[in-house]
Structure 1
Amino acid sequence: MAESGGCCLRPFSCEQGLLSRPDGSAAFLQGSTSVLVGLYGPGEAKGNRELPDRAALEVLLRPKVGLPGVLERSREQLLRQTCEAVLLGALHPRSAVTIVLQVLSDAGSLLSCCLNAACLAMLDAGLPLSSLFCGVTCAIDPSGAIVLDPDAQQEQGARAVLTFAIDSAERKVLMANTKGNCSVGELQQSLVAAQRAADTIFQFYRDSVQRRYSKS
């Protein structure tokens, strides 16, 4: 298990390849928020899921308790959109990839934790990717200050909560999700803070993968 933290981010840790049945898996912990991911595929696409020119990607998000609701469905779409942006699906036409995320605990910044866990599971499965990505959440408090990687309490007291998916190649935004009200200036400041934080997360990815493969 690799651990890290820094630049106002809560400490994070991850473990890859801990599930035996999926083709790739990862557990990601950000502060007290944690998500477990199992990835299946590329495998045979069933029935109407088959796409002639690329792999069909499905993302399922399971809450800690109960059944998935409207919030999980909308997050599944955001996660799928991000994963599709980097997956070189044309290399596996007519196949299917399914990513299943299980929320173990939600103590804030859950969507970014899901993004980070999904990326590490894709990496663990050896899928062909154009780049890696990471998720960073920013909260804007009532005074206008930007809080990186907010916990649940900071999210509740925030005027706006913004989550960005950022790619490792050019620090481009692959996905942005906002909740609440913020100005264009605050959005831009939050993005700059998120891009800076992404450097720390990508370094953590590199360190954890190196550590894992140096062991094996």
Structure 2
Amino acid sequence: MLAATPEDRSGGDDTNCSSKLTAGFKDSHLPGRDTGSEDNVTNYTGIEPCLSTKRDKGEKGERGPQGKHGKEGPIGIQGPMGLKGDRGQAGIPGDSYKQHYSAFSVGRKKGLHSSDYYQTLVFDTTFVNLHGHFNMFKGKFYCYIPGIYYFNLNIHTWNFKETYLHIMKNDQDMVICYAQPSDRSIMQSQSIMLELQENDEVWVRLYKRERENAVYSDDVDIYVTFNGYLIKPNLD
């Protein structure tokens, strides 16, 4: 039998492979295909088939178009915490902040009858007088911190006498606290918010008309109070 050489197994020229295949079958008959004597089988020359011829690698083709985005996958597990970063730079210094307060609460133990057409209501008891902004001798609050203030006046009327007072800002009457003469004495109250500038004055004035004007109090209890405090300072 004709055996294939190593060149035949490793692949070579197509012509050599074809010629060796032809040589193997020359003057021979394939078994089972030809009729004749057993010599036909005996004279068969077997040839191992040639392996495929190895081709050279071609050039790389152009990149194809990008495909569509796929569906978004599930969120992954949170990773470990990173290292602590460096300390940042100090910021620009801000404006200094100063809190502003102003408040007072005063009372009067003695009753008062108006002896003149205009009379300032003065007080003899101090509950609160922050920074001394309320002048007890003059009965006036002096504004040292411009802003919005709240004021409240409480008085007790006198039987059969008229009660007629104003909360004043400088020389202007702002609100009235009034009660007609009656056989019953009652508590009256008035309040207001005012925007004040520095050196403004707030005080209580009694006003006398043809009838006697009075407020009631005694040495045991305090019936007359005047209060005020700063709500919002004007820092502009």
Larger Rg: 2
Fold equivalence (TM over 0.5): no
TM-score by length of 1: 0.23
